[in-house]
Amino acid sequence: MLSWIVRGVLILAGLVTGWLMAKDEPLFSIVQMTIAVLLCTLVVLVLGFWPERWTMRAKKPPPLG
């Protein structure tokens, strides 16, 4: 299961890296891993902060008056 997630992230990182540089460049794999780490960081940030936004909307204070 984890390999599917890693494979998906690396495929997406490969697509983004392919837009930026040619596949036969020597630094392609390094840039691909950097983009993959950035994508994983983005996913962790979204998963970490998204529920907090949902609970803020659900816990609206009652109107005054």
Query: What is the pLDDT at residue 58?
Result: 61
Q: Which residue has the higher pLDDT, 37 or 65?
A: 37
Domain extents for the chain? 2-58
- Cα 53 from chain centroid (whole Å): 18
Q: Would the pTM count as exceeding 0.95?
A: no
Q: How far apart are CA 41 and CA 63, in angstroms?
A: 38
Helices (H), the chain: 2-20, 28-58
User: Which tens digits make up the pLDDT trace of 3-54?
Assistant: 898 888 889 999 999 998 998 999 999 999 999 999 999 988 888 887 766 6
Residues 6 or more apart whose CB falls under 8 angstroms from that of 27 comprise 21
